[in-house]
Chains A and B, each alone.
Chain A
Amino acid sequence: MYDGGKILIGLAIFLCILASPLVYNTVMGKASFVPEPKVPGQEQRCVMSTPFMRSEHMKLLNTWRDEVIRQDKRLYETADGRVYDMSLTKTCMKCHESKAQFCDQCHNYVGVTPYCWDCHTYPKEK
């Protein structure tokens, strides 16, 4: 290999630059950032259990959407008999009042931009 030493040094510098943001965040302690969505104060129980909602809320919302529009069924009864209006704005956002402090927390963290809010309204941020 011609100029092998120079190439290897160049590669090493390139890798250092590439890794610098990761190293910086690890050293500054930002790498272990965990989003903290604000849970509502008054209402303790969600439509489903917290672990389920955490991983499957998008599926639940899709099911709700299809039931409401396609089947015209708008009430949802949970396993323990509570009945909810299947509505993002009228049910979810009644407790989770702040989109910025709840939805956006995790969505920003994982880098997803769901298009719910292109049409559905959310309460004004205080």
Chain B
Amino acid sequence: MGFNRREFLRIAGIGTLLGVGGKSVAGALSGDSGRASLSLQGERNPNALVGKRWAMVYDFRKCSERIRREGRCNECAAACHQVHNVPDFRNPKDEIKWIWSETYEHAFPGQEHEYLSEELEGKPFMVMCNHCENPPCVRVCPTKATFKRPDGIVMMDYHRCIGCRFCMAGCPFGSRSFNWRDPRGKDKDGRPFIARTNPEYPTRMRGVVEKCTFCAERLAVGKMPACVEACPEKALVFGDLEDPDSEVRALLRSNFTIRRKAELGTGPQVYYIV
């Protein structure tokens, strides 16, 4: 074999030069024209609500006062689930929930004890995604289908969700639900899982995880989240924590508030006035 080291290096060198040069020439010639003409940037709606750190304050006293008076109070959850086409699979194991009711003991484990006051013991609290400062669901998502927006909203991109459910394991609040079944399907009696589909909002498909998005699509057109708008007692208040004059900051200044499982260090952004 007449192929010594010197010749090998020469051939390899020439080959590399040709390869590098060829690639750049090919790139310049082909020039992805389709993408170039799509580089137009989108814009925000001028009416959009813009915040630096969105948060929710929930006044339990108003909510429980209404329950005492009228026996029930679930307008927020009903409105949310209607607006977002949240399916009702009529089976607690398959349940999809964006905002739901949890007893004090379950919502705030570790803060309960044997001798709780009557106002708190077993009383229902509305809970939802806490849009954590340091969201564990985002950290574990292998496809970046869930991510934190600069304004603090923990968003879901259903297009990218592969249904691995790592986020559900990561979330300490149970705020994420997996679609075990096709949300557009029907149960045994022929009743659809989504009673009335809101044509303005997509449904989900089987095999993706869904959650509360602080109504990102409503904020974008200048509306408050659906639950806030639906609450007849104004017990839910939504606003920007970075704005010292916002309503949420005023409430946090003047009331004692607790957060769910704050000791875990995820920085939940839903505050409860008890």
Contact = CB atoms under 8 A, between A and B. Distances in A.
Contacts of A95: none
A123 B200 CA distance: 10
Interface residues of B, number: 28
A75 B199 contact: no
Given A56-B34, A69-B157, A72-B216, A119 B43 contact: no
Contact of A121 (B38, B40, B43, B202): B202
Contact of A119 (B149, B158, B199): B158
Nearest to B147: A70
B197 interface: yes
Interface in A92-106: none
B184 to A, nearest CB: 8
A73 B203 contact: no
Interface size bucket, A side? 20 to 34
A120 interface: yes
Nearest to B153: A72
Interface in A70-90: 70-79, 83, 86, 89-90
Contact of A120 (B37, B48, B202): B202
Interface in B114-143: none
B5 interface: no
Contacts of A79: 40
Contacts of B202: 89, 119-121
A71 B45 CA distance: 12
Q: Which one of A55, A56, A60, A72 has the greatest number of beta carbons of chain B within 10 Å?
A: A72
Contacts of B270: none
Contacts of B200: 89-90
A105 B181 CA distance: 29
B205 A77 contact: no
A3 interface: no
A59 interface: yes
A75 B42 contact: yes
A26 to B, nearest CB: 34
Nearest to B213: A69
A74 B45 contact: yes
B199 A89 contact: yes
A86 B40 CA distance: 12
Interface in B155-194: 155, 157-159
9 contacts: A59-B34, A67-B41, A68-B42, A69-B155, A70-B157, A72-B216, A72-B220, A73-B42, A74-B220
Given A77-B40, A121-B203, 11 more contacts: A52-B37, A56-B34, A56-B38, A59-B38, A63-B38, A69-B157, A71-B42, A72-B149, A73-B43, A90-B200, A121-B197
Interface of A: 52, 55-56, 59-60, 63-65, 67-79, 83, 86, 89-90, 115, 118-121, 123
